A and B are shown apart, each in its own frame.
Chain A
Amino acid sequence: MADKKIRILLAKLGLDGHDRGIKIVARILRDAGMEVIYLGLRQTTGSIVAAAEEEDADAIGLSMHNAGHLTLGPKMVDAISGAGLDIPLVIGGIVPDEDVADLLSSGVTSVIGPGASAEEVVAIVNGAIATRERK
């Protein structure tokens, strides 16, 4: 059998227009051998879920820079589980330390801090996917 590739969907949810960070993350994950499906800006929870189904994504990564993470994070979690999907959700961007616990308890699988190194980004994504595969 051919190699089994990790496929991760990266997107920006809502109106926030910063895509520098997410593009860097895309390259880091590509360089780690993953297939990154990049959806770009201004996605909705619905468009992300539909894309995740079509692309059979192993993980969804969202980047947030406009402090919307505490509402949008849980919304995305609900949209994923509402569609009956079991796909880990990783959030990166600017998430203050004090919000991390809230996000995790709302069902977000992992959070990538603003200062994460390339190795850390890859390890967090791999770790998030592993939580599902152990099931």
Chain B
Amino acid sequence: MKSHGEPVHALFEKAFAGERRSIGQLLSVIEQGGDQADSVTEMAHTFTGKAHIVGITGAPGSGKSTLTGQLTRISSEAGWKTAVLAVDPSSPLTGGAILGDRIRMDDLAGEETFIRSMATRGHSGGLALAVPAAIRLFDAVGYDPVIIETVGVGQVEVDVAGTADTTVVVVTPGWGDAVQANKAGLLEVADIFVVNKADRPGAKDARRDLELMLDLGHISGLNDQNEFRPPIIMTNALHGEGTNEVWKNIKEHGEHLHSSGQLEQRQSNRIHLEITNRLNRVIGEVASSVLETKAGRELLKSVASREISPSEAAKQLAAKVLK
């Protein structure tokens, strides 16, 4: 069953006509990777470029899904056809995952919204390809906005945030949270800050910490150039307080990107990143296969017997590949 019965172009036609199930199946094809996934991306590519891509990132449990649920409701009520891609980590031990983000987005399973849970499946490289491919599919079949929820720890997720037009960083009250966010590199990618759980003590402090860091210019990167000081919005996502304002700011940021010409810049950064990732994969595959050749194995022996160094072996192999 699943996606393996039908050729991907047939699925794509149905997905394009709005069939939910085909979109779901194509997302599985994308997650599997390989040639089939690549052909989905190829089919989708020409139809893309319309969706506003919104990243929601922040520490585990900070309320990303609850906020995403609210934003999805608000945008759908405003007539937008919203898609959500919720990324959660796979267990490194078993490869399994519990994908629980949908619990916080209930009552959304309507005609005009689409929510997909995606596990990281251990390999960051795979995710780096699958996330942009999934976004592209949503964009191609007419979803706008596309919201991506990711946990903001580690480099991988920050890269994922880099695939968004507008990145919302969620922090919560509690000493050191803003500092941790800073360490994780999240502050640099933020276009909008949300201090969620503002019903809890310490929310004002969290806000002040962020303001301070903005004032001190600790937050550099993209935001310096575009003179767009990230707004800080206090929310209680559980009860929806402040969430309309988050949505309003997301839209405004999207418009700002348009009018300032930065959208093209971001899109070209994104394409650059995606091509780099794909190039790395293609070259990585060639590199591993060259190690399995006779010449590769001989070089390996020479390194083992201390005749040449690993870096020398790598250089020699690279010369073979790049010829």
Q: A: which residues have CB within 8 A of B? A: 1-5, 7, 26-27, 29-40, 42-43, 46-47, 50-51, 53-56, 58, 84-87, 132-133, 135
Contacts and interface: CB of A to CB of B under 8 A. Distances in A.
A3 B95 contact: yes
B96 A33 contact: yes
Contacts, number: 101
Contacts of A1: 32-34
Contacts of A37: 99, 102, 117
Contacts of B34: 1-2
B319 to A, nearest CB: 30
A54 B23 contact: yes
Given A33-B96, A38-B100, A53-B21, A58 B116 contact: no
B231 to A, nearest CB: 32
Given A2-B126, A35-B97, A51 B2 contact: no
Contacts of A3: 95, 121
Interface in B280-308: none
A114 to B, nearest CB: 22
A51 B102 contact: yes
A5 B106 contact: no
Contacts of B10: none
Nearest to A84: B21
A26 B99 CA distance: 10
Q: Chain B: interface secondary structure?
A: mixed
Given A5-B95, A40-B106, A55 B1 contact: no
16 contacts: A2-B126, A3-B121, A4-B32, A29-B96, A31-B91, A31-B96, A35-B90, A35-B96, A36-B99, A39-B103, A40-B103, A47-B109, A53-B24, A54-B23, A58-B2, A133-B1
B1 A5 contact: no
A55 B97 CA distance: 14
Contacts of A47: 106-107, 109
Contacts of A84: 21
Contacts of B3: 56
Nearest to B23: A54
A115 B225 CA distance: 62
Name the residue among B1, B28, B103 with the largest chain A CB count within 10 angstroms.
B1
B24 A5 contact: no
A55 B21 CA distance: 9
A5 B24 CA distance: 15
Contacts of B12: none
Nearest to B28: A56
B98 interface: yes
Contacts of B90: 35
A133 B98 CA distance: 23
Contact of B98 (A27, A54, A86, A135): A27
B146 interface: no
Nearest to B110: A50
A43 B105 CA distance: 12
B272 interface: no
Contacts of B117: 35, 37, 55
A100 to B, nearest CB: 24
B239 interface: no
A133 B110 CA distance: 29
B25 interface: yes
B94 interface: yes
Contacts of A86: 1
B218 interface: no
B110 to A, nearest CB: 8
Contact of A56 (B25, B119, B126): B25
A85 B21 contact: yes
B193 interface: no
